[in-house]
Copies of this chain bind each other. A is one copy, B any other.
Amino acid sequence: MKLFQAIEQRRAIKHFEPNAKMCEADFTQMMNAVLLSPTSYNIQHWRFIRITDTKTRLKIKEAAWGQQQVEDASEVIILCADTQAWSDRPERYWANADHQTQAILLPMLDTFYTQKPQTQRDEAMRSCGMAAQTLMLSAKALGYDTCPMIGFDTQAMADIIKLPEGHVISMMITIGKANKAASQRGGQLPLSQVLMDNSY
């Protein structure tokens, strides 16, 4: 599928075919595409929790206030991030770079993130956002639909997936075969209202 088609056809789908499966080859192709999304300093701090267990899926549905698409989707993925990944063996993020480059990057990373919890958290949300859009467009190109979700009890979700300290949940994405099309787009603001030249 062409890029612009995927962008235009991607809509948040809330009604999935309950018996549809995503084939493993498609899942892997989608996730490998996701891993090509950018992260600052290539820290790749995203972590993806794929819900394959039926009981866990139902707990997650409950944490998401009973939203049916969580039960009916072919796949459910929780997008999380390790906000401390920048300090966890960072050399591995630049394994292919020469030692000189590594020697420049290491202190930059320290300066940028040390004792800056808001910067670390912003980065987690931003990177997961970029990864999420890659995931949703890839799913679309492979013939699936998605729903990006933030409507859930974050603490309940953290308990279910055993979220470790220093990690955050960014969002959830359900993936499946739509059995009801999305409504027309809600009411898009024109470009002129959200694009400004040089300053507000």
Separation of A196 and B52 alpha carbons in the complex (Å): 10
Q: Which chain B residues border A58 with CB–CB below 8 Å?
A: none
Q: A49-B196, A200-B164 are in contact. Are A132 and B134 (CB under 8 A)?
A: no
Separation of A12 and B37 alpha carbons in the complex (Å): 10
Q: Which chain B residues border A131 with CB–CB below 8 Å?
A: 129, 133
Is the CB of A24 closer than 8 A to any CB of chain B?
no
| A/B interface sample: 23 pairs, CB < 8 A | A2-B2, A3-B3, A4-B141, A7-B33, A7-B37, A12-B38, A31-B191, A32-B191, A37-B133, A38-B136, A40-B150, A44-B188, A44-B189, A47-B195, A51-B198, A52-B198, A96-B183, A97-B183, A122-B125, A125-B125, A129-B132, A161-B199, A164-B200
Q: Which chain B residues border A195 with CB–CB below 8 Å?
A: 31, 47-48, 50
Is the CB of A21 closer than 8 A to any CB of chain B?
no
Closest to A79 in B: B126
Is the CB of A42 closer than 8 A to any CB of chain B?
yes
Nearest 10 A-B pairs (CB), nearest first?
A129-B129, A95-B187, A125-B125, A133-B133, A130-B133, A42-B186, A126-B129, A162-B199, A3-B141, A129-B130
Q: How large is the interface on A (under 10, 10 to 19, 20 to 34, 35 or more residues)?
A: 35 or more
Q: Which chain B residues border A96 with CB–CB below 8 Å?
A: 183-187
Q: Which chain B residues border A127 with CB–CB below 8 Å?
A: 129
Is the CB of A104 closer than 8 A to any CB of chain B?
no
Q: Which chain B residues border A162 with CB–CB below 8 Å?
A: 199-200
Interface centre among A46, A134, A183 (most CB of B within 10 A): A134
Given contacts A92-B187, A130-B133, A130-B148, 16 further A-B contacts (CB under 8 A): A1-B3, A3-B3, A3-B141, A35-B191, A38-B136, A46-B194, A51-B198, A52-B198, A53-B197, A92-B189, A95-B186, A96-B186, A97-B183, A126-B170, A134-B137, A167-B200
